[in-house]
């Protein structure tokens, strides 16, 4: 990504639910380059440290697809709230291929009611804290 593509701007997102929140969004990598998803190095490192297991189903994540075998536990990047422009520690997470594929572009609260989640006993109470926090905004 070239320097010309870096722009510093702020977006404030407020959500009305039981809890009001404001998210400050910086779209410039502070002290590092961005990956293909626009996630700065410092944030990628932070999220990798936080999310060792899928934020939805809790399966232990693996970094690379095994040569032979199932790929459902391979780590993928996830925008909890489906807005690729929200690149914050509150919205970027890691989840398994299976959950990411199932969730797709569905609204988080709707997806948690899906047959996929019911079958796997994924609920608002079993997901990672970062997901529970996002539910306040996604509601």
Mean pLDDT on 117-137: 94
| pTM of the entire predicted model | 0.71
List of residues 6+ apart from 7 with CB closer than 8 A? 27, 28
| Pairwise pLDDT comparison (135 vs 23), residue with the higher score | 135
**5 pLDDT tier (thresholds 50, 70, 90):** very low
DSSP letter string, 101-136: HHHTT--HHHHTTSHHHHHHT--TTTS-HHHHHHHH
Residue 82 is part of which domain span?
Answer: 3-138
Q: What is the helix (H) or strand (E) element at residue 137, kind and residue range? A: helix 129-138
pLDDT over 70 (residue 9): no
Three-state SS for 81? coil
Number of domains in the chain: 1
Q: Report the distance separating Cα 72 and Cα 61, nearest Å.
A: 9
**pLDDT tens-digit series, residues 60-99:** 998 877 777 667 788 999 999 988 889 999 999 999 999 9
Q: What is the 3-state secondary structure (H, E, C) of 1-69?
A: CCHHHCCCCCCEEECCCCCCCEEECCCCCCCCCECCCCCEHHHHHHHHHHCCECCCCCCECECCCCCCC
Q: Report the distance separating Cα 139 and Cα 131, nearest Å.
A: 12
**pLDDT tens-digit series, residues 25-39:** 334 334 444 467 788
């Amino acid at each position: 990504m070239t320097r010309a593509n870096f722009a510093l701007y702020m977006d404030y997102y407020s959500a009305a639910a039981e809890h009001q929140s404001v998210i400050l969004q910086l779209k410039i990598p502070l002290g590092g380059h961005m990956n293909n998803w626009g996630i700065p190095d410092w944030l990628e490192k932070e999220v990798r440290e936080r999310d060792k297991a899928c934020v939805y189903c809790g399966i232990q994540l693996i970094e690379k697809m095994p040569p032979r075998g199932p790929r459902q536990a391979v780590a993928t990047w996830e925008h909890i709230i489906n807005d690729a422009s929200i690149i914050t520690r509150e919205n970027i997470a890691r989840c398994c291929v299976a959950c990411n594929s199932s969730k797709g572009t569905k609204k988080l609260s709707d997806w948690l009611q899906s047959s996929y989640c019911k079958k796997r006993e994924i609920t608002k109470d079993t997901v990672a804290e970062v997901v529970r926090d996002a539910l306040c905004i996604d509601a």
